[in-house]
Structure 1
Amino acid sequence: MAKCQRGGIVTKEYPGGKVSVVIAVLTYCRAHDLVELLPELLDQAATVSRSIEILVVDNDPHGGARDQVAAVAASSGSVPVRYVHEPIPGIAAGRNRALTEADHAQVLIFIDDDERPTAQWLMQLLDTYATFRPAAVVGPVLSRYDTEPEPWIRAGGFFERRRFATGTPVSLAATNNLLLDLVQVRRLGLQFDERFGISGGSDSLFTRQLHRLGGQMIWCDEAIVIDVVPASRLTREWVLQRAFRMGNTWSRINLDDTAHGERMLVRATMVARGTARVLGGLARYLTGLIIGQLPHRARGLRTAARGAGMLSGSVGSIYHEYKR
């Protein structure tokens, strides 16, 4: 059993070989969520191996989660819990800090601070990684509501995410339930683009580039985390704002990840697709009004908002959803 010099991580035999793991939790002004999440991560880490470290990257400029993390770390037993403060604003800076702090590890796992892992989440991710040895393993995120959503939210199914059979290759992922093989990531020289730190989307660009450069990403349907959706997000305004931002970011990602000589064509494509979504979404909304179907009205508005975001992004506008 080999011991790393940094972070007190012990490397132990896993199915498929020796591997050291860092679980990264990025947080911003959610110390109350950490108090719930960290003990759950410790429980799972303790059942897998002692070669697990939990890393909390605090993006609060005041380092507001320091004391809560220290309290958990003091009683974490054999699983190290480490706190670092990342003062540069934006989630991309936090993600890059996690990459830097995990430079001694082979595997980095991202989970959001407002999520909760289900039983066997960690083991399922690591088992899938051991089986396929991909550049990334992606797991499903299921939503749980703080309060009962209004019918418009339910009808739209806005918090329902795609799922696939375990072993299915995927080409795009978020970092809300993501395992990265850092050996492959380092070899490809990838980092999160901090130009997307306040707008969002750096994880989509990162995984898109990872896939384009030949990194295999594999789905693990058993590695489920629960997204605790607060009441503040269960509104039409939030859903439509998020759809606009995602459309805006998607156009920017397509433009950024394209050779300079091809950007005019990509820009025209984004304009055409954005326009089609605006018109198609409005048509679906009107159809829903005529036939009295709430799902059509809700999804039509969301589609139109995403299309409007694509149009704005295609002409260079940046929507800063996470501006502080």
Structure 2
Amino acid sequence: MNALESVAAQELNRSIELEVIVVDNDKFASAEAICTRFRAAHPLVRLSYVQELTSGVSYARNRCLREASGKWIAFLDDDEVASPRWLIELHSTASAHHADAVFGPVLAKFCGPTPDWLRASRTHERARFASGTRIGWRDARTGNVLLNRELIKTAGEFDYRFAKTGGEDSFFFACALRSGARLVWCDEAEVHESVPLQRMTKRWLLQRAFYGGSTFTRLNVAIYGRHVYIVWAIHGAGMLLIYAFPALFSFILGRPKWIFYVQKMVGAVGKLIAPFSKFTVYGQK
């Protein structure tokens, strides 16, 4: 509900018409009641609710693309809250820099006390850039983005091979870059993401690092070909060697940053096992 409320509170120019689409990827339609309450509270907001029964983030995002009717399409996750000038800042930057897609910062909002080791891990921190900076696919995500509908014609839809693992957004924008798209950053378009308690544990952080390393390698294979498996396997082995000593040293001395080094090592293991996960290279069957 907070995400929808933040969209309803957007400061928009009169020339901009807002269309809100909620795609519910839950077979139990858990978001339907929320949308009903929102409509009652905001009768002037044009809101559409649809249910996507095929589970997976790629299916949900592609349903968003199919349901949207505007020239510009913005994505906001259900656990995020947008700042009041979120859309206007994204749109202004797109116009000023002739961008095909504009991205903004996602800032973590912890739902509980944050221990030193959690902050030292930097898991919930993401890179930020000066507004107008052109960015690559590694920093391109759908958690906070405004994209031109024309981009779909060149980048295609979100790839279903990443539906269960994530990374579908990075691959989408990598395809867009290949076709000459211009991806730009807008640092003023902030959104805040709630970090629940279950994502504030060492177990969750290390699991994320492992699967993140594997998905990152699979993304590179999908973009550049199978030969990069060797590159990232060597890279993973090197990371294990590089971070082993500082991880042990920090742990013995009781320094909170030990978790940062261990995350790097676990991510490296994920890169090493990536070739053994079932995956199809883009364009092949």
TM-score (norm 1): 0.81
- Give the unaligned 5+ runs of structure 2: 280-285
Q: What residue in structure 1 maps to residue 176 of structure 2?
A: 210
Q: What residue in structure 1 maps to residue 78 of structure 2?
A: 113
How is 1:219-238 mapped onto 2 (pairs within 5 angstroms)? Answer: 219-238=185-204
Determine if the alignment matches structure 1 residue 302 to structure 2 residue 268: no
Larger RCO: 1 or 2 (CA < 8 Å, sep 6+): 2
Return the offset for 1:292: 4.6
Q: What residue in structure 1 maps to residue 283 of structure 2?
A: none
The question of whether the paired residues in 2 share the 8 Å contact of 1:50 and 1:79 is answered with: no
Return the offset for 1:189: 4.6
The whole-number CA distance in structure 1 between the counterparts of 2:35 and 2:61 is 18
Deviations 1:129-184 (A, max 9, x none): 11122111010011111001222112222212110000000012111001111113
Determine if the alignment matches structure 1 residue 175 to structure 2 residue 137: no
Larger proportion of strand: 1
The whole-number CA distance in structure 2 between the counterparts of 1:39 and 1:289 is 43
Determine if the alignment matches structure 1 residue 155 to structure 2 residue 120: yes
**Identity over the aligned pairs, expressed in percent?**
33
How is 1:48-197 mapped onto 2 (pairs within 5 angstroms)? Answer: 49=15, 51-102=17-68, 104-172=69-137, 173-186=140-153, 188-197=154-163
Deviations 1:176-216 (A, max 9, x none): 00111111322x05110111111111111111221222111
Deviates more, 1:194-203 or 1:83-92: 194-203
The question of whether the paired residues in 2 share the 8 Å contact of 1:285 and 1:301 is answered with: yes
Q: CA RMSD in A?
A: 1.7
For residue 275 of structure 2, what is the amino acid of its counterpart?
S
The question of whether the paired residues in 1 share the 8 Å contact of 2:12 and 2:87 is answered with: no
The whole-number CA distance in structure 1 between the counterparts of 2:103 and 2:155 is 20
The whole-number CA distance in structure 2 between the counterparts of 1:71 and 1:100 is 25
Return the offset for 1:89: 0.3
The whole-number CA distance in structure 2 between the counterparts of 1:223 and 1:179 is 10
The question of whether the paired residues in 2 share the 8 Å contact of 1:70 and 1:83 is answered with: no
Return the offset for 1:50: 5.2
For residue 283 of structure 1, what is the amino acid of its counterpart?
F
2:228 to 251, 266, 273: 266
The whole-number CA distance in structure 2 between the counterparts of 1:179 and 1:246 is 24
- Give the unaligned 5+ runs of structure 1: 1-34, 319-324
The question of whether the paired residues in 2 share the 8 Å contact of 1:48 and 1:123 is answered with: no
Describe the SS at the equivalent of 2:169. Answer: helix
The question of whether the paired residues in 2 share the 8 Å contact of 1:248 and 1:306 is answered with: yes
Describe the SS at the equivalent of 2:9. Answer: helix
The whole-number CA distance in structure 2 between the counterparts of 1:180 and 1:241 is 31
For residue 154 of structure 1, what is the amino acid of its counterpart?
R
Describe the SS at the equivalent of 2:161. Answer: helix
For residue 148 of structure 2, what is the amino acid of its counterpart?
D
Structure 1 residues 132 and 210, CA, compared in 2 at 3 Å: closer, same or farther?
same
Describe the SS at the equivalent of 1:300. Answer: helix
Following TM superposition, the consecutive aligned residue runs of length 4 or more in structure 1 with deviations greater than 6 angstroms are: none
The whole-number CA distance in structure 2 between the counterparts of 1:312 and 1:207 is 25
Structure 1 residues 182 and 50, CA, compared in 2 at 3 Å: closer, same or farther?
closer
Q: What residue in structure 2 maps to residue 282 of structure 1?
A: 244
Structure 1 residues 117 and 52, CA, compared in 2 at 3 Å: closer, same or farther?
same
Deviations 1:94-136 (A, max 9, x none): 001011111x321110011101112311111111111122111
Describe the SS at the equivalent of 1:169. Answer: coil
The question of whether the paired residues in 2 share the 8 Å contact of 1:247 and 1:308 is answered with: yes
